[in-house]
Amino acid sequence: MSNIKYDFEYLDTEVSAKILRKFIENRMEDVETPKKVRDYLLEHEGKPITKRHSAAISALIGHTVTIRKQFGMTHLDWMQPAADGSNDHFSMIIAYAERNVVIPGREWFDQYCAREISAAENRNEQRRNILNDPRRLLRLARDIRRFREACKALKLSLDASCNDIHEMPDNPDDCAIKRMFVIP
């Protein structure tokens, strides 16, 4: 879904709102999988982290989990398909060490992992608020259409100046303006 560019200016506002709804739904973040990983680790608190643990977590969540030791830290990493067809990368820090790493306790997860999980929950709540407000979705779709129309008008106005490399543009900054606003 995210790789598809919709030309909102040619779509009815209600159709655009439906497309926007689907886009926002696809951006909902998974918060349950990191919680499952955290809960598994808490059951094994104090034990050295091993490949057996990453294999058990992989079986638990249905995605390959690897132990990454890098830059003086140890992480558990996994990828899982996102709703939009791409892959989401997850990384959970479990230690500020690379050697003799033991699975930390609740205090560690509360300090280093809870913020990420609660931030994702907050973003999901904000998305649900938008999805539950049909008038807001329609306003967003209308505003996107207006924005696209304005970009198209600006592009047309600047294209006349930027097409011929042998001619000086009317305004020496037209091409720079076009680049600055990434107008195709």
Per residue in 123-157, pLDDT tens?
999 999 999 999 999 998 888 888 888 878 877 77
161 assigned to some structural domain? yes
pLDDT over 90 percentage in the chain = 39
Same domain for 85 and 17, yes or no, is no
Distance between CA 10 and CA 146 in Å, rounded?
Answer: 11
Q: What is the pLDDT of residue 15?
A: 82
Q: What is the pLDDT of residue 2?
A: 45
Question: What backbone phi and psi angles, to 5 degrees, belong to 77?
Answer: -120, 145
For residue 157, the one-letter residue type is: S
Angle between helices 13-26 and 114-131 (to 10 degrees): 160
Number of domains composing the chain: 2
Identify the residue with better confidence: 46 or 160. 46
* Residue ranges making up the domain that contains 45: 31-131
Contacts of 117 (CB under 8 A, 6+ apart): 31, 34, 35, 38
User: Cβ(59)–Cβ(115) under 8 Å?
Assistant: no
Q: Which of 100, 115, 131 is the last residue of a domain?
A: 131
Angle between helices 13-26 and 134-162 (to 10 degrees): 100
Same domain for 155 and 118, yes or no, is no
**In the predicted structure, residue 8 carries a pLDDT above the cut 60:** no
Q: What phi-psi label fits residue 13: left (phi over 0), alpha (psi between -120 and 50 degrees) or beta?
A: alpha
Could you give the count of Cα atoms lying within 13 Å of 17 in the half-sphere of its Cβ?
15
36 assigned to some structural domain? yes
Distance between CA 154 and CA 183 in Å, rounded?
Answer: 8
Same domain for 74 and 141, yes or no, is no
Mean pLDDT of 167-184: 65
Same domain for 82 and 164, yes or no, is no
Same domain for 37 and 121, yes or no, is yes
Q: Which of 110, 131, 152 is the last residue of a domain?
A: 131
Same domain for 46 and 114, yes or no, is yes
Of 169, 135, 145, 130, residue with least CA distance to 23: 130
Identify the residue with better confidence: 89 or 72. 72
Place of tokens 């990454």: 68
107 assigned to some structural domain? yes
Average pLDDT, the chain: 83
Mean pLDDT of 16-41: 89
Same domain for 77 and 92, yes or no, is yes
Mean pLDDT of 161-169: 55
pTM: 0.67
126 assigned to some structural domain? yes
Same domain for 119 and 173, yes or no, is no
Distance of CA 56 to the CA centre of its chain: 27
Identify the residue with better confidence: 174 or 95. 95
